[in-house]
Structure 1
Amino acid sequence: MDDECIHGLEGQLCALCYPKVVTEPATPVKKTRAPKLSSLRDPLPTAATPAARAARPVRVAGAPRPVRAEKASTDNVDEQRVYHLTHISNLASILHDGHLSANAALTTRPAVDISAAATRETRRGARVTGADRSVAEYVPFFLSPNASVWENIRAEQADPRLALDSHGSEAFDFVMLVSTVKTINDGLAARAAAPTDADDDDEAPHIPSLVAVTNGDAAAPLTRFGATPATAERMLQTLRAETDGTMLLEAELLVPDAVPMELITLIGVCNDNVRATVRGILKASAFKPKVAVYPPWFHTAADPQ
Structure 2
Amino acid sequence: MAECIHGFDEGLCDICYPRSAPASAPRTAATRAPRATRAPAASRTAGAPRVATAPPVLLSAQRIYHVTHIRNLEMIAIDGALRVDAEPEVDVSSALAREMRESAPLAGGGVVADRVPFYLSPDAERWRELRDGAAGAHWSDAARATRPTDFVVLVADARAAGDDVVLADGDAAAPATRFAFGMEAGTQQLRRMRALDAGYATGELLAPNPFPFSGVALIGVPHEPMRDRVRDILREVGGHVPKVAVYPPWFQRD
Which bin holds the TM-score, normalised by the shorter protein? 0.7 to 0.9
Aligned to 2:209: 257
- Cα 1:218–1:274, aligned 2, differ >3 Å: closer, same or farther? same
Ranges in structure 1 where 5+ consecutive residues have no aligned partner = 1-31, 37-67, 189-209
Aligned to 1:81: 63
Which residue of 80, 85, 89 corresponds with 1:98? 80
Query: Across the two proteins, how many residue pairs are aligned to each other?
Result: 206
1:7-46, aligned counterparts within 5 Å? 33-34=31-32
Aligned to 1:266: 218
Letter in 2 for 1:183: A
Answer yes or no: is the 8 Å Cα contact 1:149–1:159 preserved in 2: no
Answer yes or no: is the 8 Å Cα contact 2:116–2:207 preserved in 1: yes
Letter in 1 for 2:133: E
Letter in 2 for 1:128: L
Which residue of 162, 172, 176 corresponds with 1:218? 172
Q: CA deviation at 1:290?
A: 0.5
Separation in 2, partners of 1:115, 1:233: 29
**SS class of match (1:280):** helix
Answer yes or no: is the 8 Å Cα contact 2:116–2:211 preserved in 1: yes
Aligned to 2:113: 136
Which residue of 141, 146, 152 corresponds with 1:175? 152
Q: CA deviation at 1:34?
A: 4.8
Aligned to 2:230: 278
Aligned to 2:91: 113
Separation in 1, partners of 2:33, 2:203: 54
Answer yes or no: is the 8 Å Cα contact 2:91–2:143 preserved in 1: no
Aligned to 2:244: 291
Letter in 2 for 1:218: A
TM-score using structure 1 length: 0.63
Answer yes or no: is the 8 Å Cα contact 2:167–2:179 preserved in 1: yes
1:241 maps to 2:195: yes
Separation in 1, partners of 2:141, 2:240: 28
Letter in 1 for 2:95: A
**SS class of match (1:159):** coil
Q: CA deviation at 1:85?
A: 0.6
Separation in 1, partners of 2:186, 2:141: 31
Q: CA deviation at 1:98?
A: 1.1
Q: CA deviation at 1:77?
A: 3.2
Separation in 2, partners of 1:180, 1:87: 21
Letter in 2 for 1:160: A
Residues 185-213 of structure 1, C-alpha deviations (whole Å, 9 max, x = no match): 2xx6xxxxxxxxxxxxxxxxxxxxx1000
Q: CA deviation at 1:181?
A: 1.5
Ranges in structure 2 where 5+ consecutive residues have no aligned partner = 1-29, 35-52
Answer yes or no: is the 8 Å Cα contact 2:57–2:187 preserved in 1: no
RMSD: 2.3
Separation in 2, partners of 1:181, 1:270: 23
Q: CA deviation at 1:166?
A: 7.4
Separation in 2, partners of 1:116, 1:167: 11
Aligned to 2:125: 148
TM-score using structure 2 length: 0.75
Separation in 2, partners of 1:159, 1:35: 72
Q: CA deviation at 1:132?
A: 1.4
Separation in 2, partners of 1:87, 1:174: 4
Separation in 2, partners of 1:146, 1:233: 21
Q: CA deviation at 1:140?
A: 0.1
Answer yes or no: is the 8 Å Cα contact 1:128–1:227 preserved in 2: no
Q: CA deviation at 1:182?
A: 2.2
Residues 206-248 of structure 1, C-alpha deviations (whole Å, 9 max, x = no match): xxxx1000000000011100013322111122223334xx520
Stretches of 4+ aligned residues off by more than 3 angstroms? 32-36
- Cα 1:226–1:83, aligned 2, differ >3 Å: closer, same or farther? same
